[in-house]
Amino acid sequence: MELPDNGSYRSYADVGRSYVVWNVVAAPEFSVEPKTWCYPIVGCVAYRGYFVEVRARQFAAHWSARGFDVAVGGVAAYSTLGHFNDPVLNTMMGWNDVELAAIIFHELTHQLLYVVNDASFNEALATTVEEEGVRRWLEAQGRGAELAAHLEQQEHYVRVVELLTATRLQLAVIYSSALTPLEMREQKRAAFSALRSSYDELKAGWGGHAPFESWFGEDLNNAHLASIATYFSCVPGFQRELAAAGGDLAAFYVRVRELAKLDQQKRDAAVCNG
């Protein structure tokens, strides 16, 4: 996989809680663009992280009171970008070995390359490498049946992401229109209602289970849609880059490092727009 081979994921740590961190995402009532927060080293990202859940929820309540849509989500793992040796955490122990391999591929990609102030680039790159890594890992082990099951699960994931993305694009048009706030709220409500109906249809066709069930069990809003964009909007572009490299990951990483040198506008045009 040409990923960093270092001291990460060679040790174990129990953080004594169900998630290692809780992320808060906030977006204005009439926008699908998230608020960003900036930090040393990692730059600006579209979430605020807390090691204590109650503090995350208090922060979310603060922004909700200001009229923002908010979402709070537990995170089982994160990367220190190679500054420290990241351990396997107790929060990851509920996963099977395929899921564990996937997160390790994802987080090691952040160590390989990280562009400050460009979360969409970083997360989509890591997601692309994660998916390719799991596929190659299962093939190399001759686990064809598990690979087939994984690919089916990934297809379900993609279908739900497509629904969420389509709703985000629909709402972006609504929010940029000349409608009154009251009219926007009504169309926003209708868009999320239609999203739920479409999701329920997919779920019924998949035996009553589907990705993102926890999201659909709560009040879906702009913040959830913003999260999806951060992780998936640029994935098709990276998949094109991998294909252009003939599936050679070393050559792919060379191409990606060249993209990372571009300014934000040119980088977005290359992998995130179309």
The tens digit of pLDDT for each residue in 195-245 reads: 999 999 999 999 999 999 999 998 999 999 999 988 999 999 999 999 999
Q: Is residue 49 part of a domain?
A: yes
In a domain, 190, yes or no: no
> How many Å apart are CA 72 and CA 75, to the nearest integer?
10
Query: What is the pLDDT, as a whole number, of residue 145?
Result: 96
Average pLDDT of 178-195? 98
Say what the pLDDT of residue 273 is.
79
pLDDT score for 259: 96
Average pLDDT along the chain: 96
Q: To 10 degrees, the CA torsion angle through 108, 112, 114, 115?
A: -150
Q: Is 188 among the domain residues?
A: no
CA nearest to 238, candidates 113, 97, 153: 113
Q: Measure the CA–CA gap between 127 and 106, rounded to whole angstroms.
A: 6
List the Cα angle 145/146/150 in 5-degree steps. Answer: 120
Of all residues in the chain, the percent with pLDDT exceeding 70 is 100
Residue 70 is assigned to a structural domain of this protein: yes
Average pLDDT over residues 45-72: 97
Half-sphere exposure of 187 (CA within 13 A, CB side): 18
- The verdict on residue 51 lying in a domain is yes
CB 129 within 8 A of CB 1: yes
Could you tell me if residue 195 is inside a domain? Answer: no
pTM for this entry:
0.93
Q: Is residue 86 part of a domain?
A: yes
Spatial neighbors of 253 by CB under 8 A, at least 6 apart, are 2, 112, 113
CB burial class (10 A; 0-12, 13-18, 19+) of residue 237?
buried
pLDDT at 274: 61
Both tokens of 192, joined, read 């999320």
The answer to the question of residue 77 being in a domain is yes
Number of domains in the chain: 1
| Residue 52 Cα to chain centre, angstroms | 21
Question: Where in the sequence is the domain holding 20, given as residue range(s)?
Answer: 10-94
87-126 as b/e: b if 16+ CB within 10 A: bbbbbbeeeeebebbbbbbbbbbbbbbbbeebbbbbbbbb
Confidence grade of residue 41 (pLDDT, cut at 50, 70, 90): confident
Say if residue 47 is exposed, middle or buried (CB neighbours under 10 Å; 0-12, 13-18, 19+): buried
Task: Show Cβ contacts of residue 183 under 8 Å, excluding neighbours closer than 6 positions.
Answer: none
The kind and range of the H/E element at 118 are: none
What integer pLDDT is reported at residue 195 of this predicted model?
A: 98
CA distances from residue 17 to 21, 74, 75, 90 in whole angstroms, order as listed: 9, 11, 11, 8
Residue found under tokens 């069930």? 213
Give the pLDDT of residue 1.
79
pLDDT in tens, 244-266: 999 999 999 999 999 999 999 99
